[in-house]
Amino acid sequence: MNPYNYDIEALKRKARAVRRHIVRLNAGSPAGGHTGADLSQVELLTALYFRILNVAPDRTDDPERDIYIQSKGHAVGCYYCVLAEAGYFPLDWLATYQHPDSHLPGHPVRQKTPGIELNTGALGHGFPVAVGFALAAKRDNSRRRVFLITGDGELAEGSNWEAALAAAHYGLDNLVIINDKNNLQLAGTTRDIMNTDPLADKWRAFGMTVTECEGNDMASVVATIEGLKQAGKPNVIIANTTKGAGISFIQGRPEWHHRVPKGDEIEQALEELKDE
């Protein structure tokens, strides 16, 4: 079970705290960061770690724990902020993001950071490994569930669709694929760079059960995840998000894919993220 089990209002407060961490973490990184991608998935990761996942910092080797995989590895900044808030490592580690000898490199590395289950960064890598975890759990008669977040730009990688075929073939209904559909990748829109729509129809054609939610609305995220059924098919959630969500001058702007706040931008962002 989840050690927090926060209600919606507590999750919203936690999400604002995570966003404040993201601003400071990226602003202090000597190698930059992926601010837009970090911000789009805040509600998704906050809901998972503070209500949904059967995980806890004191049982990272529990064979029955759920598995979370950050397939869009470049958005690791949000992941670190959530893990720190959840007690997997001290909050002051966040100030070391991408510094020499840091526990927090620019992509998830299991050997460096407590709570990380899989080294990711090469896009399209997380989903195939998640299929392996889910298949192993099925064969072990484990109650474990496997969750991953992919980006919509990441779905241009063919390995994802090979993984989808295998997941459906083996009936991996213990697998939940959350697609952070923020409609931007790198320097433009996914529609213009590599159009994946109609995305829901594609997932269904590959044998998935598909639901959609408003991915930056905490109540929608929680209701959707908790409403999933294990009915013989993998579950895909298309989470309709806004890249850079939560900060007025960042959200929806492709240039913030690899930009970080500087100078007055830091204070403006933190002002917008004050607790209500």
Tokens (6 digits) for 209:
């059960």
Tokens (6 digits) for 69:
């995989």
Residue 187: the pLDDT is 86
Residues in the chain: 276
Residue 200: the pLDDT is 97
Residue 276: the pLDDT is 74
Q: Which domains does the chain have, with CATH numbers?
A: 8-272 (3.40.50.970)
Residue 173: the pLDDT is 98
Give the residues of the chain that fall short of pLDDT 70.
none
User: Which residues, including other chains, have CB under 8 Å from residue 239's CB and lie 6 or more apart?
Assistant: 44, 178, 179, 180, 181, 212, 213, 214, 215, 221
Residue 78: the pLDDT is 98
